[in-house]
Amino acid sequence: MTIQALAFDLDGTLVDSIHDLARAANAARADLGLAPLAQDTVESYVGDGAASLVARVLADDMAAEFDGSELQQQGMTQFNLHYRAGLTIATKFYPKVQETLHALHERGLPLAIITNKPERFTLPLLRELGVFEHFDVIIAGDTLPERKPSALPLEYTAEKLGVSLENMLMVGDSKNDILAAKNAGCPNVLVSYGYGDELEKMGADAIIHRFDELFGFLEE
């Protein structure tokens, strides 16, 4: 296996954003007269994009879906306002992420972001964190007609980067990341420190505990 490009999930993989997501989610709940949720509860609802997060947070139910009801529309509007106003109040890189991204970029390896987070949050977040220019392709949850676990974002990214899918490493923290990689035929790695649980059951090619362990997958 020769890795010629790397694609990364964002929340739970590159950055720990749960404090800001939970703050915005609970602020939206408060605006609608609802009591706050524990941060761990909000964390369990993350991974399928903002609409799913808002639906789950408002209902306090993992099975809730965004159906466009008046309450959900109000919740989405308030969540958008609160989250966009404080994307990086407490959001920070996980250990070794910033240095590793810089080193990979310096090596000339094509790098991509593939996240289910909407573009309206993804692009300004990357700019505020100072790593926007490191990425050759940025695919958010609403960039294409389909998002992870669909293979489409990975297929599109590989085409844009000019590499074969089997030579692009997908790095994430959740089931959606692994399913997308498997659906696309990409090698894949899970980080152990993110928002996913029961990692061993997800069937990733490998699990790493520190971000700089990625260098072990690259040929010197």
The model's pTM: 0.94
- Cα separation, 190 vs 210, whole angstroms: 10
20 included as an active-site residue: no
Tens of pLDDT along 64-81? 999 999 999 999 999 999
What pLDDT, on the 0 to 100 scale, is given for residue 109? 96
Q: Which residues of the chain have pLDDT under 50?
A: none
What pLDDT, on the 0 to 100 scale, is given for residue 198? 77
- Cα separation, 76 vs 68, whole angstroms: 10
Q: Is 202 exposed, middle or buried (0-12, 13-18, 19+ CB in 10 A)?
A: buried
Tens of pLDDT along 77-107? 999 999 999 999 999 999 999 999 999 999 9
Residue 202 tokens read as: 């997800």
What pLDDT, on the 0 to 100 scale, is given for residue 66? 95
* 184 SS3 class: helix
Which residue of the set 9, 11, 20, 48 is catalytic?
9
55 and 64 Cβ atoms separated by less than 8 Å: yes
